[in-house]
Structure 1
């Protein structure tokens, strides 16, 4: 097959049909994303026609991001807007210097040829990011295969890639392969003359000099069904004219480059201000052009498998807002973002659909604005030009598409954890990566030291959730069992290979009876201290765990294990296991509760926001973590039993523990009737606690 070339598997091969402003911007942007880009242009030199173009802030920002600074090739700022009636009477004049300060990037008026040349040079140069775009001129595309991403040229040669982008303008051939042959452009009832003259020619004529006193001034003359627009470009040295009039009054064609007749143009505007006619008469008959203003019904879609349209191929624009080129540049930026470096080939059709969803409504809305702006005066259409301008200019498509791509990526991964701050995407944590991919902690290690003791059931039950029925002990006796269990975790992937410590109170032999009579059994955990912020936040928000911060310092010796807990230097807890001796590890479940419980019971409480809702819960319900469903299951490797263990809790006071005193004071109340077991368990495999579930 002709045109088939080798290309790296980690980049896409993208075929662009059309080397206008939209096609070259797409080529440049996709090149900078690391892709191989081929552009096919039917003309010999792929040059744009001699006319000016608005580079409004929404387009100029994208060009600057791509390294195109239009000021370098003579673009000047848009600084003033003046409107006249057909007799030359001034209706409105507005300076734009202050208003333009609200936009990130300046509103520029550029020469279309110079912009096109700058894009072509940047796209095809050996310098710059990515490989140069390969520009094939005199290469008319006569057919596109959307499934194979193949283009066929008029000479019969074929080129195949991963994607085809149809940027072949208002008379697009690629369009028929997307939306069908019934969608064709039609004349909106207007045509337009266009030409450029030196500004100096107007300045030196006393009849016309008053129109060109200020730099950067756009002037408009309105008749009932026709108008003239004039604005400067090329460092304010050239004046660009667009003269819109009824189609029947000139011999315009569909071709943008059809020659116009100067006498006919002057006849079309014969009733206008003589000073304006003097301006129009300065047009060079050899370069005067006239073309029909083409519109088209809104396409139902812009994409088909591996083919997507952009610019006028997708949405032909009337010139009344000067946004046609800008929207094509926005399309190109969106495609470059959506088809970023590393795009998997299998995602191409879906990503092209995403591009369409991002761009479709905005492009069509700006089209509608342009139609309204071009309405004849006798139609008395109500216009809010500031609303139009704000919508058009107050947008950065690169930033917008980047966010839409993020959201699309997030949505493609089901069942991800979201927690504050949600603006930045799914939160990485022990259960998932930032992209929502589940983590595997099979290689992570744990060391759990626990002291199980006999204590008062009547005191322990005071730690059940306040005012919530259903909580009880299995045994009716007044003694019960609890454990202080401390775990050191290491080799945690989600923490970059490091770890942290936690210590909790686990009350054994607790049941929760649901409203339907079913009973859930396990160890109730009223408090869990941790010495690192990240697991505290993730555990509170994702799992409903009652976590608080405390320093937890562990001192391990050959036959002893000591734990000191505190807050900002105030020591509130000391836990000691002595005379450790290794025993058989078989039979130990390695649970963080320190005993063979069925799971952990806890209670989630999230307060409502606002002073008026103090004491009101936004969420309040029991949570259960069944150990049998934990992934991965912990694997104890070594177990050491202590023949002596103790702990001491100092309640201190509010000054020493300003955020913890109420908790530590209650823990200090617990009597120790007997230490019944104490051990240290070492193992691998740290459960992610994703088995946590709302009980009811």
Structure 2
């Protein structure tokens, strides 16, 4: 929290009004930093459906402020059985033991492989509902809509000029890109020719859906419908978890593809294609598929590691910095961590001349952790799809991997990160 009521003698432009941008804006305002939030859409809004938020994400929200934590709690949904409160996912076989060979192909379908436990109750939110609550914490005069960033320029005094598609321009002491996986500011920071400037296809795509819980429970039974499940199989997996206080079951069904040639990352397909992708899977998976109404598929892209998150007084966070696949359910959580850590560092800045040093301190404490998320998440998708080298469809090895896979993400000491970053900043800035 801010230690002074004095408004800072510099201002920050936050580009992008998703979860990262809103959490960062809220954090900056708590430190009395003048901020303007630029959103390309005509109003705040989120695509996608449900998102899982782990212990680290909840800790970050709590650290930004009790109002952010309260906004989360207002829309958070937990596993509906009390005995499943601390279960991240129950991992199950989505295919039989002999599915690949054809022999005894139904054996073991749906059987439990491993239950991953969380340090605190596992939580899920509907993205749009969470965003609605965060928006309420931002004063009306902060956000400007219809502002799609096209380019930026560093001026002679170090300030940043933003150039928008509508022909308008704005000058700020610094700019922070929260503008997602297709970030304009990522390209500015890295340079258009950098191979990491643009996202790459991960080899996976996903069907997403929301199913009324009563229908899901009728087909699957209460345990499987009302608590988080993950069904693993060859070159695909299906996950479900409750959202909207248990009224709805969120579904994401993943499949594999060697390349993605369509310029659009979201394309419409057919129910037949969906069924074909999961032919030979368990009755549980087929029951889920029969209830899915939309058959759009979402290509899953991620970033290659960026050599830096900072250029002059421009920084990038969240998906703009380290867009990841969703296989460890931690993309949004890492973005919220970024927002907390960066706001805390900027809270100690006394003049615009120190902003670059603050950004570099942020980068130093965050870049390895966030790069690791992208790498391990991609490997995790291979684990779920029986593709991880040395593990494949050996469920005992899968269980052993799952036993520790998420711990480094959930158990992070964010306060230590902030303390380390502040120490770096004090050494490198002109205090």
Taking structure 1 as the reference length, the TM-score comes to 0.52
Match of 1:63 among 61, 64, 86: 61
Match of 1:390 among 407, 411, 419: 407
What is aligned with 1:640? Answer: none
Is 1:162 the counterpart of 2:170 in the alignment?
Answer: no
- Are 1:188 and 1:295, in contact at CA under 8 Å, matched by a contact in 2? yes
* Post-superposition offset of 1:296: 2.4
Partners of 2:374 and 2:131 lie apart in 1 by: 23
Is 1:227 the counterpart of 2:237 in the alignment?
Answer: yes
Is 1:115 the counterpart of 2:136 in the alignment?
Answer: no
Match of 1:171 among 171, 178, 182: 182
Cα distance, 1:38–1:337 mapped onto 2, change above 3 Å = same
- Are 1:168 and 1:313, in contact at CA under 8 Å, matched by a contact in 2? yes
- Are 1:311 and 1:324, in contact at CA under 8 Å, matched by a contact in 2? yes
Is 1:401 the counterpart of 2:411 in the alignment?
Answer: no
Q: Which residues of 2 match residues 613-628 of structure 1 at below 5 A?
A: none
What is aligned with 2:386? Answer: 377
What is aligned with 1:530? Answer: none
Aligned residues: 388
- Are 1:308 and 1:352, in contact at CA under 8 Å, matched by a contact in 2? yes
Cα distance, 1:95–1:15 mapped onto 2, change above 3 Å = same
Partners of 2:361 and 2:259 lie apart in 1 by: 43
- Are 1:35 and 1:341, in contact at CA under 8 Å, matched by a contact in 2? no
Cα distance, 1:409–1:173 mapped onto 2, change above 3 Å = closer
Q: Secondary structure at the match of 2:281?
A: coil
Partners of 2:190 and 2:260 lie apart in 1 by: 32
The gaps in structure 2 that reach 5 residues or longer are 1-5, 80-84, 97-107, 392-397
What is aligned with 1:284? Answer: 293
Q: Which residues of 2 match residues 395-544 of structure 1 at below 5 A?
A: 395-397=412-414, 399-409=415-425, 411-412=427-428
* Post-superposition offset of 1:12: 2.8
Deviations 1:109-149 (A, max 9, x none): 11111111111111236xxxxxx6x1112211111224431
Higher RCO (CA 8 Å, separation ≥ 6 residues): 2
* Post-superposition offset of 1:23: 1.1
Partners of 2:286 and 2:429 lie apart in 1 by: 64
What is aligned with 1:73? Answer: 75
Query: RMSD of the alignment, in Å?
Result: 2.6
- Are 2:349 and 2:358, in contact at CA under 8 Å, matched by a contact in 1? no
Q: Which has the higher helix share?
A: 2
The gaps in structure 1 that reach 5 residues or longer are 1-7, 126-131, 415-434, 436-696
Partners of 1:407 and 1:283 lie apart in 2 by: 51
Q: Which residues of 2 match residues 128-139 of structure 1 at below 5 A?
A: 134-139=142-147
Q: Which residues of 2 match residues 580-591 of structure 1 at below 5 A?
A: none
Q: Which residues of 2 match residues 305-324 of structure 1 at below 5 A?
A: 305-324=312-331
What is aligned with 1:266? Answer: 275
- Are 1:318 and 1:371, in contact at CA under 8 Å, matched by a contact in 2? yes
Structure 1 range deviating more: 219-228 or 313-322: 219-228
Cα distance, 1:236–1:358 mapped onto 2, change above 3 Å = same
Cα distance, 1:228–1:409 mapped onto 2, change above 3 Å = closer
- Are 1:11 and 1:342, in contact at CA under 8 Å, matched by a contact in 2? no
Partners of 1:161 and 1:332 lie apart in 2 by: 19
Q: Secondary structure at the match of 1:122?
A: coil
* Post-superposition offset of 1:278: 2.0
* Post-superposition offset of 1:159: 0.9
Q: Secondary structure at the match of 2:184?
A: coil
Taking structure 2 as the reference length, the TM-score comes to 0.83
Is 1:28 the counterpart of 2:26 in the alignment?
Answer: yes
Partners of 1:95 and 1:137 lie apart in 2 by: 44
Cα distance, 1:253–1:325 mapped onto 2, change above 3 Å = farther
What is aligned with 1:141? Answer: 149
Pair member with larger Rg: 1
